[in-house]
Structure 1
């Protein structure tokens, strides 16, 4: 259960892009009595308004009353906005939010990839806080989020960090504030580059992939290409440590398929251009090559075209 210790007033939250990840954190905040509005797609919002948001976890299965809206103007008055849209929607999200943000509103990017906070900030004309998100959650249907594991957040430092961290802790969300967020975002990106595309191409979970001949060696090549590109961007990563992370994912999340796989199966656009595609783009910018990442990127693009994503 959330921490029952009363601390008031909590900052007012808005979740922009309340799908699986945004819905998970928004539901936990609402469950703990922290004021929050979830802004999402019409069918999802309608279901939440009519029935509440069903959140299934390993420890509870509850339907939580939430405030939900489809209008970006619903962020008006929020102290904190959690941006949880897909990476390809970043600029559009910023443009939709910009007229409705207060001068002191903290904007946090809870997105895949390493450059979304910067991209949001360029459109908003203000700093955006990058956040590393470690959660496995899926949207099972309108008004229904299933949590598969983890849930920690790592926030870059910002003025309101203490209040935001306290509210999230009250909601049962493990949260730390760290200067090492750029390094952590790159580390997460490398793991995503290793598994997301390959899981999407095969429609198979991580454990199955790791058990196939040649896959561990292939993933080591992905890791080393990413490490070289990160180094050129000024981020020092350890290839051996990342190899170990990739191996642990195979056992710790053996039955999980990637978000890229789920997007393909549903005929939705993927975030591949902001995962393997980002590595390929940055490699070109530095005069490097990333052939394995390029192959994975190309294959996912072909599947997107074939399935009409």
Structure 2
């Protein structure tokens, strides 16, 4: 298949490199120093087995694509999705399948406004991007799990083809007609990204994450939204993902932690904790802990504060009573 991977950060860059190595014609869309490094030297993919250079093509805009593509894999943060979709809609056939390899649950709906063939991908793929031209995949021998289905529900031949390509690239991938149930489970997991970004793995961070999830479960239940259980998720993951040390690459934190570490000035909390806040407001359920997390993550991003620089005890002291 021919792929455009729109957003060549940790997940997109590593997935694109592996698809290219599996024989799929792949173009990465990147920005700034990262794009310049890929164009100059190729993309460096670091894994537990070592580093290698992948000579994958890269561009700065969908309008630069050298040929039509069979599918677009969106892999940017949720806060960048709207602008990316507008640029994409101006450059590709409207019937082009668009698959969201993204955390959160708002990207698919945004894509469906502009493209009729949208696919949701539930991402379990530990990866890091902290320096230009380099992405890190931490799990081996299977780099991650990328299950997908048609949005809002169902599966079809295109989903099967994308899933097959991902399997050829080394991923565990199945098609799921109810993939959004799994993305809502992943959303519950990702709510603690804000705490990880701001507090790191401080001793009290896990308890703060549980507060966020308990509040979110009440909101999802009130909204009548189904989500896969923790047990279903545990069984699906099994022993597929095996995190290992990557030589020369210290293990960092979540994707939100990485945003602070790179000093991007933005963070995806509005589309993780903010999704729970929005649903709570729509269904009359207060979500003060997730609103606080959203605000704290955005404050740290806006002010350029380093990750893991606030003790969890100080976060707790600031919680609304």
TM-score w.r.t. the length of structure 1 is 0.84
Q: In structure 2, how many angstroms separate the alpha carbons of the residues matched to 1:148 and 1:70?
A: 27
Moved more, 155-164 or 89-98: 155-164
Tell whether 2:97 aligns with 1:92: no
Tell whether 2:163 aligns with 1:172: no
Decide whether aligned partners of structure 1 residues 281 and 34 sit closer, same or farther in structure 2, where only a CA change above 3 A counts.
same
Q: CA RMSD in A?
A: 2.6
Q: How far off its partner does 1:217 sit?
A: 4.1
The answer as to whether partners of 2:42 and 2:53 remain within 8 angstroms in 1 is yes
- The residue that corresponds to 1:136 in the other structure is 126
Decide whether aligned partners of structure 1 residues 223 and 145 sit closer, same or farther in structure 2, where only a CA change above 3 A counts.
same
1:260 aligned residue (237, 256, 261): 256
After superposition, residues 29-108 of structure 1 pair within 5 angstroms as 29-75=19-65, 76-108=67-99
2:194 aligned residue (185, 192, 197): 197
2:284 aligned residue (280, 287, 301): 287
Q: Segments of 4+ in structure 1 off by > 6 A? A: 242-245
Q: In structure 1, how many angstroms separate the alpha carbons of the residues matched to 2:4 and 2:256?
A: 26
Q: In structure 2, how many angstroms separate the alpha carbons of the residues matched to 1:12 and 1:303?
A: 38
Q: In structure 2, how many angstroms separate the alpha carbons of the residues matched to 1:284 and 1:293?
A: 12
- The residue that corresponds to 1:152 in the other structure is 145
Q: How far off its partner does 1:240 sit?
A: 6.9
Query: Deviations 1:21-52 (Å, cap 9, x if unpaired)?
Result: 11101100111221111111132222222211
Q: How far off its partner does 1:114 sit?
A: 0.8
Aligned residues: 285
Q: Which runs of 5+ in 2 are unaligned?
A: 150-154, 245-250, 307-321
Q: Which runs of 5+ in 1 are unaligned?
A: 1-10
SS across alignment from 2:183: helix
Q: How far off its partner does 1:68 sit?
A: 1.0
Q: In structure 2, how many angstroms separate the alpha carbons of the residues matched to 1:74 and 1:237?
A: 39
Q: How far off its partner does 1:198 sit?
A: 1.0
- The residue that corresponds to 2:209 in the other structure is 219
Tell whether 2:101 aligns with 1:110: yes
SS across alignment from 2:23: coil
TM-score w.r.t. the length of structure 2 is 0.81
Q: In structure 2, how many angstroms separate the alpha carbons of the residues matched to 1:55 and 1:297?
A: 32
Decide whether aligned partners of structure 1 residues 224 and 161 sit closer, same or farther in structure 2, where only a CA change above 3 A counts.
same
Q: How far off its partner does 1:172 sit?
A: 1.3
- The residue that corresponds to 2:314 in the other structure is none
Q: How far off its partner does 1:125 sit?
A: 4.1
SS across alignment from 1:175: coil
